[in-house]
């Protein structure tokens, strides 16, 4: 055992940079007067089912501690609890990083405030809503010309299922990166590997300066253009199998009416599979918004996607392993910006097979027998005004979201078709899973059919159908497809004899392999 550089100084010790709440002193963080109730230091599960974490974040076990609010009676909607830090010196910019857990159907709100004297000011960071049973990372830059304290303010939702927890609070010198931005030079920023479930995620992304295999991956990073710079990549060598996936997820990002995400990617290798980007609205939906495949050479290539969501969301980079070790895929320099200039998908041919209809019909083509009966893209807000269609979409579950629909105001027995881009065939029979959300509501709703049509013979076969009203709700469907030739997918709606009802579709996607229902 050894000791070195021990010193004793006058006054209080500076606040600890990291607090895991495992020490009963809570590193000087404390409950204060003026709120409605207190935060609780706890381990293991909270006192209510269907809300709160099962373990702490530090160790991922029931031996570690965290802080949380218990939302059960006598708590009521809007009750607030304040947790206050020790006093910090003035700063031009410190980065507050913490982990939070917000599981429950009635979650209220978590705010971060900067308190100067008795003035709490406005929140510098806020989050609301059910974010699922996972610890999420949050970051915010804290600035103050005077001494200050940091406050976590949690509010109770509409029922006991609104426990909110925090853990592993870290305060470091220097400003945080903008939400979602990362060049991977000092770490992964707020990007994390998804939990492996062997369905959507089989292995992890790796931060590195070079890949482990010859003949694949970049020769330098993109940020510095040198072999000393870092990037994230998937390693396609053994024990990886073709088609296995690795997911890298952003922090939970706030709602946006329009953002542009830019990034750089490298897909160098003889057996590259594909890279996809998904927009994930937690506890609501997941839609593929960008996908690109094949060997694209040694150079870094710029990518770009438009983003819109009325609810908090997560961006997911999904890398799929190829046929051999020469299938590594890398990404670098992710940035988010708000711009009045239209943000197009780059490369232009990176549009996915599916569509969430937020910005356009993607590559899906409407057809009809009579012009008055056809598929039409609209938002829930337009449905409220026109009184046709459902008032919320499936992607974000809000009126501002969009979908595609037909209503029964047309000639009896009319048919409206929606045709997909071609699904290619490489000579080997493969299984694919078609997924989509549908909404069929109204007394006159007739049929919704899904067909697989040969691109060469134009022959089509029915692979799925529903008839009649299914209630005022979105329903998820999956269809197992066996691809033995190039095909198109066709959604066909058939009109009823009256005028009461509509059929809508949203969040179409095509995945490799068997469907979950299979």
What per-residue confidence (pLDDT) applies to 340? 64
Say what the pLDDT of residue 411 is: 63
Beta-sheet pairing, 256-266 with 301-309: antiparallel
Tell which residue, 83, 73, 77, 89, has the closest CA to residue 27.
83
Say if residue 506's pLDDT is above 90.
yes
Q: How many CB atoms are located within 10 Å of the residue 56 CB?
A: 26
pLDDT score of 12: 56
Mean per-residue pLDDT, 413-419: 87
In this structure, are residues 398 and 129 in contact, taking their beta carbons and an 8 Å threshold? no
Helix/strand/coil percentages in the chain, nearest 5: 5, 45, 55
pTM of the predicted model over 0.85: yes
Q: What is the pLDDT of residues 73-130, one digit of tens each?
A: 999 999 999 999 999 999 999 999 999 999 999 999 999 999 999 999 899 999 999 9
pLDDT in tens, 343-390: 999 999 999 999 999 999 999 999 876 656 789 999 999 999 988 899
pLDDT at 409: 66
Q: What is the pLDDT of residues 256-303, one digit of tens each?
A: 989 999 999 999 999 999 999 999 998 899 999 999 999 999 999 999
Cβ atoms 68, 46 nearer than 8 A: yes
pLDDT band at 495, cuts 50/70/90? confident
State the average pLDDT over residues 200-213.
96
Q: How far is CA 317 from CA 7, 191, 250, 283, in A?
A: 48, 10, 9, 18
Rounded distance between C-alpha atoms, residue 249 and residue 316, angstroms? 5
Integer Cα distance of 219 and 237 in angstroms: 18
DSSP 423: B
- Count of positions (residues) in the chain: 518
Taking the C-alpha atoms of residue 438 and residue 405, their distance in angstroms, rounded to an integer, is 9
Model pLDDT for residues 209-261, shown as the tens digit of each residue:
999 999 999 999 999 999 999 999 999 999 999 999 999 999 999 999 899 99
CATH 2.60.120.200 fits 192-337, yes or no: yes
What are the sequence ranges of the domains in the chain? 18-173, 192-337, 365-512
Q: Span 23-47, mean pLDDT?
A: 96
18-173 sits in which CATH class?
mainly beta
Q: Which CATH code for domain 365-512? A: 2.60.120.200
In tens, the pLDDT along 390-406 reads 999 999 999 999 999 99
Matching CATH topology for 192-337 and 365-512?
Answer: yes
Instruction: Convert the pLDDT of each residue in 454-473 to its tens digit.
Output: 999 999 999 999 999 999 99
């Amino acid at each position: 055992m050894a000791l070195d550089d021990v010193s004793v100084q006058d006054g209080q010790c500076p606040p600890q940079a990291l607090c895991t709440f495992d020490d009963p002193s809570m590193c000087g963080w404390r409950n204060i007067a003026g709120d409605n109730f207190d935060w609780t230091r706890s381990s293991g599960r909270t006192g209510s089912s269907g809300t709160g974490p099962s373990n702490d974040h530090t160790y991922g076990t029931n031996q570690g501690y965290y802080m949380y609010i218990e939302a059960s009676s006598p708590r009521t909607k809007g009750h607030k609890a304040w947790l206050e830090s020790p006093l910090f010196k003035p700063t031009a910019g410190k980065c507050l990083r913490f982990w939070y857990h917000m599981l429950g159907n009635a979650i209220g709100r978590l705010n971060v405030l900067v308190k100067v004297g008795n003035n709490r000011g406005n929140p510098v960071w806020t989050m609301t809503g059910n974010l699922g049973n996972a610890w999420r990372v949050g970051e915010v830059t804290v600035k103050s010309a005077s001494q200050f304290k940091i406050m976590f303010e949690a509010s109770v939702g509409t029922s006991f299922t609104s426990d909110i927890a925090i853990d592993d609070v870290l305060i470091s010198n220097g400003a945080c990166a903008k939400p979602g931005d990362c060049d991977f030079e000092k770490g992964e920023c707020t990007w994390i590997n998804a939990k492996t479930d062997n369905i959507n995620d089989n292995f992890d992304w790796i931060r590195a300066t070079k890949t482990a295999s010859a003949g694949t991956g970049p020769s330098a990073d993109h940020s510095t253009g040198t072999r000393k710079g870092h990037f994230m990549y998937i390693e396609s060598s053994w024990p990886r199998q073709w088609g296995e996936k690795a997911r890298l997820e952003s922090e939970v990002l706030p709602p946006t009416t329009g953002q542009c995400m830019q990034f750089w990617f490298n897909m160098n290798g003889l057996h590259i599979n594909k890279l996809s980007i998904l927009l994930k609205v937690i506890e609501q939906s997941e839609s593929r918004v960008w996908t690109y495949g094949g060997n694209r050479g040694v150079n870094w290539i710029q990518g770009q996607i438009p983003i819109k969501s009325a609810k908090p969301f997560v961006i997911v980079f999904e890398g799929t392993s190829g046929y051999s070790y020469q299938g590594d895929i890398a990404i670098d320099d992710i940035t988010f910006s708000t711009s009045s200039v239209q943000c197009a998908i780059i490369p232009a041919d990176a549009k996915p097979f599916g569509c969430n209809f937020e910005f356009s019909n993607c590559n899906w083509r409407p057809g009809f027998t009579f012009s008055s009966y056809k598929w039409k893209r609209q938002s829930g807000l337009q449905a409220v005004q026109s009184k046709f269609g459902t008032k919320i979409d499936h992607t974000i579950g809000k009126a501002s979201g969009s979908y595609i629909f037909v209503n029964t105001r047309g000639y009896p027995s009319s048919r409206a078709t929606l045709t997909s881009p071609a699904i290619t065939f490489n000579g080997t029979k493969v299984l694919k899973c078609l997924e989509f959300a549908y909404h069929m509501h109204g007394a006159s709703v007739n049929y919704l059919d899904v067909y697989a049509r040969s691109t060469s013979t134009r022959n089509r076969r029915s692979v799925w159908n529903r008839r009649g009203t299914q209630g005022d709700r979105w329903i998820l469907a999956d269809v197992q497809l066996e691809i033995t030739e190039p095909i198109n997918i066709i959604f066909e709606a058939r009109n009823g004899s009256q005028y009461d009802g509509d059929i809508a579709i949203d969040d179409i996607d095509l995945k490799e392999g068997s469907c979950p229902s299979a």
